[in-house]
Structures are given as C-alpha cells and as structure tokens.
Amino acid sequence: MNFPPATQFPPLILDDIKGAQKMLSGVSRVTAMEGSRHLTDLVGAPVRFKCENLQRTGSFKLRGAYVRIAGLSPVERAAGVVAASAGNHAQGVALASALLGVRATVFMPVGAPLPKVAATREYGARVRLHGHVVDETLAAAQEYAQETGAVFIHPFDHPDIIAGQGTVGLEILEQCPEVRTIVVGIGGGGLAAGIAVAVKAVRPDVRIVGVQAAGAAAYPPSLAAGHPVSIGSLQTMADGMKVGRPGDVPFPLIRDLVDEVRTVSEDELSSALLLCLERAKMVVEPAGASPVAALLSDPKSFRGPVVALLSGGNVDPLLMQRILTHGMSAAGRYLSLRLRLTDRPGALATMLAVLSVADANVLDVSHVRTDPRLGLTEAEVELHLETKGPEHCAEVHAALRDAGYLVLN
C-alpha cells in the first residue's frame, strides 16, 4: 500500500495536535516528569525526564495509533486495521483498536521478543509472525491490507500519527514551561516531528535535538541530501530506531524545525540504559535511552533546563541482561581479561590474592591447561571481574603486571 506524497497531505499545524490532545483525554496518560540530579550536575543546568516509558503499553506509540484509528470512517473501521512492528507500535495499535472496537491484525518478525508478542495478543490483536527483518514484515502487512481491505496503520508516516505523538510536546510545555532544550530519539521521525510542530509553534526559542543510533542513522545523510535516502545495514541494539529510511511526512518537519540531529554509539546507549536503571530507577529500552546517551556524551553542549524524553520501556529481559553487562563494561564496571601464569600448585590462589588486594570482585574464572599454544609449564586464565570504573580497571591491570603476570587483553 502506497501513501500519497507528503505534499498531498495538508500541512500539520498546532491545532491538529491540540485536537489530538482532546481526543486522547482519558485514553493516554499525562506521563510524569522526573528530575535527574546526576545529569543536572553533569550538564550544569536542570535536567528532567519525560517518562513515556510509563505510558500505557510502555511507550508513546499509543498516542499516534489511537488518533489515526479514531479518525477512520465507519466503513474503514468495519474493514479492520493491520500493522507491522517488532514491538511498541504493535502494542499501541492493539490497545487502540481494542478501545475503539476495531479488529486488528499485527504482523511481527519471527524473532520478535516473546514478551512483546504476548502483550500484543493480550491487548486483543491477532498476531501473525512473518519474516526475519522488519522490512519483510512490513511487506507482508501491506500485502494483507491489499488483499483484505484492512487499513494499514503506518508507525510514523501519516499526519494523524504525528499529531498524536506531538501531544508529548504540549505536555512538556505544560509541565516544564521554562524548558530551553528538548532531546528526543528519532527512528522514522514521527515523534520528533510531532514534538517539533507543537513546541516551535508556541516556543520557537526552544532548541530541539534529535538523537539516532550511529548504526541506524538515516537522518544525517538524508538531511545532507535534502530528501529521504535509504541506508544499508542497520546495526544497533535499539530496535525502535532500526528504520532505514526517514518517513516522507515527518522528514520535512524535522528538516525545518529540529535544530540538530546527533548520533550515539552502542557503548553510549548501554551506559545510558544503566544510568536510567541505577540512578533514576527507570526501566528504559535502548531507543528510549538515546537522549540520555546524548547528554552523557557531551553534557556541556546543552542549554538548560533540558527535558530528555524516555520514549519507551519495553525491553526483553534477556536483551536487558546483555545490555547491562555491556553497559557495565563500557562504564568500566566490568572487566574481562586473559593472562598467563606458571602451572604449579597454588599459582591460581596467588593470582587471586593479587586481585583481592586490588579490590576487584571476581565473578567468573576459566582455567585452561591443555591449549596447544601453551608451554608445558604454562596455564591460561580468563577472568571476569566487577570493578569500580575506568581508573580502577587501570589499577587492576597495573597490579597484575607488577606481580609479573602477562596480561593478554
């Protein structure tokens, strides 16, 4: 199913977003805004979190999905709706459809996290697993729409979706009228575009900074080219940002209204997620933590007060475990290394004593004696340690080297 070009849609204006806000009254939550003392100290100005991770379905997606489906004609509603998503949009469409009494079919990738699949079904949608990447799933959903007449609900490329997401911007202005910078993650662009339209219409002085994962950053080359362009491989843990091409509808809004688009690395995303969990007691998915990652990467470049949008909290527990380990490693809190020692009784205990003096907590030890690369009197040890930061990691390395051990990595 092909949408009309963006120029065929009427321009999105503040009144559209105010209308969406009225429509969402009693449906979506006015999510909390919480202060972050740690980031406030780093930035040197107040930093607050807009907690859409606490929204119904665990993300902002309900807002746009409800506004889009509520705007369908009776004939369109009777035909049902169909969507394609790996998680957040799926749940938003499922709940919105249930609230409006519309039949929903949601296509999800075969490898979609089980909790997200289960939640989508529990909200009342019929789930069909198809494809291993979102593009395959999207194609299947569009084919289903053509065959059945169901209305395809795009995750970001429609004015009604953008208007619904823009209600977040109105809430930010109401909850933090003194805001000077808003930092928001960008996938396809619906959320950032909606916020930009709402905020710039009321407070054109507010700086809006978009953030993308470096491994899935389609907006920087598109902005440079002046039109949406597709990028190749998408490599990021932030599933909510795995969009290879900006939407035709949100792109001109972001081009004209968003002041800057930055990228963040996987290490920065991991560290941000860990900070949200430890310091803010917030469960946030990688895409939702991208504004925090941007603040951590260059805190002095933001003019405060700053509002960082935590856009979602739907993260698979197994992925969370891997991300936390990665985040601890990126923050210097987790150290893996291999070293050689003489294979004799008591050698391992002696080495562990060195680590004890260095105050490193040993999480796991693997002791190898039979590798053909080792000499007859050598053994290799792989260690996983809990440490206190980059300086402590350097101290552990130095203590081992000073004790005569060959550290291999």
Query: What are the catalytic residues?
Result: 61, 311
Q: Considering only the C-alpha atoms of the chain, give the largest distance between any 2 of them, rounded to a whole number of Å.
A: 81
Which residue carries 């490329």 as its tokens? 157
H or E element at residue 337: strand 334-342
H or E element at residue 108: strand 104-108
DSSP state of 229: -
Separation between Cα atoms, residue 133 and residue 76, nearest integer Å: 28
Separation between Cα atoms, residue 207 and residue 148, nearest integer Å: 44
SS3 16: helix
Which residue carries 């949406």 as its tokens? 228
- CA-nearest of 12, 14, 141 to 89 is 141
Structure tokens at 7: 């120029």
CB contact at 8 A, 66 and 100: yes
What's the per-residue H, E or C state across 35-79?
ECHHHHHHHCCCEEEEEHHHCHHHECHHHHHHHHHHCCCHHHHHH
Amino acid 15 reads D
Which residue carries 């959320």 as its tokens? 191
